[in-house]
Amino acid sequence: MKRFHPQSAAPLVALAAALALLVLAAPPAAAQCPAYLCYLDLVGGGAVCPKTSVYQNVDGSFPMQSVDFGTDSAACATSGKSKVVRVNLPDGCSGLTVIVEYGPEHDGHTVDIGDSVTDNGYGGDAGSLPAGQNAEVHVVQDQLLVFSAADNPVDVDTLATANLALEDSAIKFVIKDQFVSWSQPYTALETPDLERLFFLPSNPVAPDNRTVYVALNRVVADTSRLGCGVRHALMFTQ
């Protein structure tokens, strides 16, 4: 099911600063979703993903951790730094919001959001998760592609495509269990009955997976699939 509704995007640096103050001022209640956020600067290569005991998961991990998996692209003059953020969605959280800001030029693979550490773009996965847990959202050049969770490591379907205008703009993604949305314009895709999208169950049972990988200016696992043009990104739990 798709729905369309236009909405505007706020400047990411100001939004990051405001949200950081709110997060640090109000530690979350145990039964609620921890209000955790991560800010990335793809121009300079920096990342601010706070690691404090307040937000530490039961297993000792942190909800969001910046991970460097490879090389940066030199195709754009303004931003070619690449980052991958591993998000271990805390208990009580239903999903993840990712806001991505583009500069005046872009090229190649700029966004890749998947639930497998071996996602490599175009729905590809090396089978690191159980069958069915490798949905993927991929932006390459000016096209957005949504790939289904596979029945096996090679059997994927393209669930949606969209042509985007990315220069000096921002795009917002929301990832939940069997749900993904993006804007502008606002578009939502959900598969609660078919179970063809992200597996982020509220009551996980092994081998269920509540980890999401967000790759910027690259895909998650393939260091030959790079891109440039994403300048800043902000992501937070919900």
pLDDT in tens, 5-49: 433 444 555 555 544 544 444 444 445 887 788 899 999 888 888
Q: Residue ranges of the domains in the chain?
A: 1-6+38-44+52-202
Most confident of 118-127, 174-183, 220-229: 174-183
How far is it, in rounded angstroms, from Cα 212 to Cα 85?
8
Tokens of 45: 């290569």
84, 67 Cβ separation under 8 angstroms: yes
Q: How far apart are CA 88 and CA 65, in angstroms?
A: 9
Give me 98's structure tokens: 């990712």
Characterize the bridge pairing of strands 64-67 and 83-88. antiparallel
The CA-CA-CA angle for residues 12, 46, 179, to 5°, reads: 50
Average pLDDT over residues 171-197: 90
Count of all residues that appear for the chain in the document:
238
Express each pLDDT in 99-111 by its tens digit.
999 999 999 999 9
Answer whether the bond into residue 104 is a cis peptide, omega within 30°: no
- 212 secondary structure, DSSP code: E
Higher pLDDT, 208 or 96: 96
Going by C-alpha positions, the residue among 98, 136, 96, 100 that lies closest to residue 116 is 136
Contact between residue 62 and residue 56 where contact means Cβ atoms under 8 Å apart: yes
What's the pLDDT score for residue 117? 82
pLDDT higher than 90, residue 176? yes
Whole-Å CA distances, 138 to 36, 85, 121, 185, 218: 24, 15, 6, 17, 10
Single pTM value for the model: 0.82
The answer to whether 161 and 143 are in contact (CB under 8 A) is yes
Query: 118: which 2 tokens?
Result: 């071996």
pLDDT one-digit tens code per residue, 130-144? 655 678 899 999 999
Closest CA relative to residue 100, chosen from 42, 153, 45: 42
How does pLDDT run across 43-72, given as a tens digit for each residue?
988 888 876 555 556 665 667 777 766 678
199: confidence class by pLDDT, cuts 50, 70, 90:
confident
Cα angle vertex 185, ends 182, 188, to 5°? 40
The pLDDT of residue 78 = 78
